[in-house]
Amino acid sequence: MKTQKHIIKLFVGFLILIITTISCTEDFEEINTNPIDPQTATVEGIMAGVQYFEFAEPRFLTWRGNLIYTSQFANQFSYNAEGSWFAGDAYQNNQGWTNAIFDASYQKVSLNIRNLLGTYNDLEDTNGAAVTKIMMSWFYQKMTDIYGDIPYSDVIGDELILTNPQPTYDAQKEIYTGILNDLKAQMDEIGASSEIIAGADGDFIYNGDPQKWKTFANTLRLRIAIRSRDAFIQAGEQSFIDTVINDCLSNTLIDSSNEALLKKSESALILSFLDGSFEDVYWGFGGLGSKWVFSDRYLNLLNDNNDPRLPQIADPSPNDTFEGTAISMRGIIPRDNLAIPSQKIIGTSTTDVTNVVPTQILTAAESYFLQAEAALLGYSGNPQGLYEEGIRASMKFWDVDAGDIETFIINEPIATLSGSTEQQLEAVWNQRWLALLMNGYEAWSLVRRTELIPTLTDNAIFFVSEPNNGTVPKRLQYSTTELVANETKVKEAIDRQGPDTMTTSIWWDIE
């Protein structure tokens, strides 16, 4: 657990990043007019601020991006409950939120992570530069999976003020290829070095340990490669993607000893300064409007299989049941019938967050489920063994008793892969989906690729309305800020990718 000193440093870095961040669109990052020089910040302060914005997300982005949008798109959390502000069709676009997810993410991360890279280059800290580029890859993977084609090649260097303030929107295939290649390059750059990076106090993930970041990079490569495998094969590049996956499996991958988790401050005062996320959304707005519940699909999968994660993840309803509600349902469900998130997700108030679980960035559970999927697709590994390890890792994350874990593995049919390869893959995807709770972005990507969530068709029971007609959205629309400030480049992306709607599939989301 991080010390109070470390959290305070994160807060200092956060303030510096706020002060020095300028818009990423027209007049892109004119920090020459800002009297504050961001390069006077300490490297640990810059690192801490980047990690907070990139991995933890403040309240606004958590609420809109991770909760109202992607966790509902993934059918994990739901606002379809009595008194909610967001009941109704969960698959609708709110352009103000969509703008903010794009604009705030680029403003808060893209500029400042280039500042961090430039700082490490000035220090001639090659491990620090490699770690920064690995974090860049994670960020741009997230952004391209939300929007499709995005600014990438023009914004991944260490140039603080861009020569071109209207960056090119790269095709997603080229972004994925670039990320896969760059992650490998950073792994090679780190090599066998164990030299701790400068500013390690600001690294809340791995305390500046380059070998752990190397393992993170390799696991991120596997996530990206598995997601894009079918698209690369369709493009005639099976040899390329097979080589990447085999190389990932031959190198160290994340396990329970080196998960990428970010534990936020447990101090109420500092947490409020940092603008908390899940707990702040739930408790900080009064009334019922902001209080989400679980989807019926999520709780049913736990309930129907005697899953010991259930009481760790959810608290029973006032009627003492563990029930959820459907996404986009026309009938509003009384809250007395609905389970609520446990204190591991929301604490007990905006200030009592002692038991809140860390932010999941790349976990052992996800690593094992990715390896299990690869094994089922014909690559190396024991699918059943990896599948069991993924379940164990997820249950350990939620503090399930070790004996209860083994009882589940031994006794529950769902813990044994069976049937056709497709049925076994679906089992792996469902367990990965369960494990991705609170990471709506990744859960949404998973359900888009695998089609785990069926299209809603009964308009009498559900909102089957335009533009998505009951289908899980394929992407978010582009920011209207960018459509004004970077019109030519955005329109080039739209012409290449397809209409700027939520129904346009991104490159890897093939039928």
Tokens of 296: 């019926």
pLDDT score recorded for residue 342: 98
How high is the mean pLDDT in each 10-residue block of the chain (511 residues)? Answer: 42 42 37 40 92 88 94 97 93 95 92 96 98 98 98 94 90 98 98 98 96 98 98 98 98 97 67 67 88 97 98 96 94 92 93 89 98 98 98 98 98 98 98 98 98 95 93 98 96 98 97 72
Task: Supply φ then ψ for residue 261, to 5 degrees.
Answer: -125, 145
Angle at 14 between CA 12 and CA 20, to 5 degrees: 105
* Integer Cα distance of 295 and 297 in angstroms: 5
Task: Supply φ then ψ for residue 343, to 5 degrees.
Answer: -65, -15
Of 454, 429, 266, give the one whose Cα is nearest residue 348: 266
Tokens of 180: 């896969």
* Integer Cα distance of 252 and 220 in angstroms: 12
Beta carbons of 174 and 148 less than 8 angstroms apart: no
- Every domain of the chain and the residues it spans: 4-267+358-497
Of 499, 495, 504, give the one whose Cα is nearest residue 474: 504
pLDDT score recorded for residue 164: 83
Beta strands in 231-309 (DSSP E): 260-262, 293-294
pLDDT score recorded for residue 84: 93
CATH class assigned to 4-267+358-497:
mainly alpha
Tokens of 124: 């001639």
